Copies of this chain bind each other. A is one copy, B any other.
Amino acid sequence: MRSKSPQLVIVGSIGIDTIETPHARREEILGGSVSYACMAASFFTRPGMVGVVGTDFPAEYRTAWKKAGIDLAGLQTEQGRTFRWSGVYEQNMDSRSTLSTELNVFENFSPEIPDSYRAAPYLLLANIAPELQLHVLDQMTAPEFILLDTMDLWINSARPKLLEVIARCTMLTVNESEARLLADTNSLLTAAQRLLKLGPHYVLIKKGSAGSMLVSDNGIFLLHAFPPEMVKDPTGAGDTFAGGLMGALAEAGKIDEKSIRQAMAYGSVIAAFGVEEFSQQRLEEINRRQIDQRMDLFKSMVAL
């Protein structure tokens, strides 16, 4: 069986995390934006992963990715240790502190896109340096829908490059404080309008456990987050949301308001599954039928 070229390419970080919540502590578990996003997207499409790991990277994680149907042609293995991150969550899980960061092989990461990925119409640029995001864009031949994630670090330290990427993306996703910082206003609606003027067709403002707001020329879409049964580990929820969104969009094969709203809802449902366990444990357990069941429930939960 010849494996098809991926329709969706996802570029970001791969890490090994040590996480402490009020209830438990887990050492050396799989993390990173591209790991979460690819797992979430894999329920809808065969995503192509672009990232870097060190020679110490556990074989079992690679096996889990293959089992989930993730294309690993863009996964680079470099001599040295994999990126490490360690963080601790406060009681309510809404805020966290970083205890340590070791860039390791991620420090010299240059995302190289395999030939088999270059014509993919869907591209998710998870949060990495804007310069690297631009390097990815330059290698893609016909991207139709580019979702761009970023963070306050790049807004403060690399604004000109970031503005270049923003001008070339289809949908920019930022959280509330990043939106205010980037647009220099306290009003979220004003911020979204200003960000639209920078080039993207859609601005998606993430509000964590509260949900998200999509602003475009079509108007505003408000999505309350799907409520998880419990929250054991919120790490990667935003990346899971973004990956689910892009996977569902790639599966739908069309880019219209209704498809985007549905895709966001899928992203929220999968993110709610994800936080119910540490790392990607829950994402490895669930199947498409369970996701669709929650999706039906979600629709009934927001019906007005």
Chain A residues with CB under 8 Å of chain B are: 22, 91-93, 177, 180, 186-190, 207, 209-211, 213, 219-231, 261-262, 265, 297-304
Residues on B with C-beta less than 8 A from A223 are: 224, 302, 304
A223 to chain B, nearest CB (A): 6
CB <8 Å contact, A186 and B91: yes
CB <8 Å contact, B301 and A302: no
CB <8 Å contact, B265 and A304: yes
A232 to chain B, nearest CB (A): 10
CB <8 Å contact, B302 and A298: no
CB <8 Å contact, A186 and B92: yes
A92's nearest neighbour on chain B, judged by CB, is B186
CB <8 Å contact, A302 and B302: yes
Cα–Cα, bound, A300→B219 (Å): 9
Cα–Cα, bound, A212→B270 (Å): 21
Q: Are A230 and B265 also in contact (CB < 8 A) when A210-B207, A302-B222 are?
A: no
Residues on B with C-beta less than 8 A from A180 are: 92
Cα–Cα, bound, A249→B226 (Å): 26
Residues on B with C-beta less than 8 A from A225 are: 222
Q: Are A227 and B188 also in contact (CB < 8 A) when A207-B210, A210-B207 are?
A: yes
A207 to chain B, nearest CB (A): 6
Question: For A222, A230, A262, which residue has the most chain B Cβ atoms within 10 angstroms?
Answer: A222
Q: Are A93 and B299 also in contact (CB < 8 A) when A227-B220, A304-B262 are?
A: no
Task: Report 6 cross-chain contacts, Cβ distance below 8 Å, ordered by A residue.
Answer: A22-B186, A213-B227, A222-B224, A223-B224, A223-B304, A261-B304
A156 to chain B, nearest CB (A): 17
Q: Are A229 and B187 also in contact (CB < 8 A) when A210-B210, A211-B210 are?
A: yes
Residues on B with C-beta less than 8 A from A229 are: 187, 189
Residues on B with C-beta less than 8 A from A219 are: 297, 300-301
Residues on B with C-beta less than 8 A from A186 are: 22, 91-93, 231
A259 to chain B, nearest CB (A): 12
Query: Which single member of B190, B220, B262, B299 contacts A230 (CB below 8 Å)?
Result: B190
A59 to chain B, nearest CB (A): 35
A212 to chain B, nearest CB (A): 9
Residues on B with C-beta less than 8 A from A304 are: 223, 261-262, 265, 298-299, 302-303
Residues on B with C-beta less than 8 A from A188 are: 227
Residues on B with C-beta less than 8 A from A230 are: 187, 189-190
Question: For A180, A207, A261, A299, which residue has the most chain B Cβ atoms within 10 angstroms?
Answer: A207
Question: For A177, A189, A211, A227, which residue has the most chain B Cβ atoms within 10 angstroms?
Answer: A227
A67 to chain B, nearest CB (A): 30
Cα–Cα, bound, A265→B222 (Å): 13
Query: Which single member of B91, B220, B224, B303 contacts A211 (CB below 8 Å)?
Result: B224
CB <8 Å contact, A222 and B93: no
Residues on B with C-beta less than 8 A from A300 are: 219
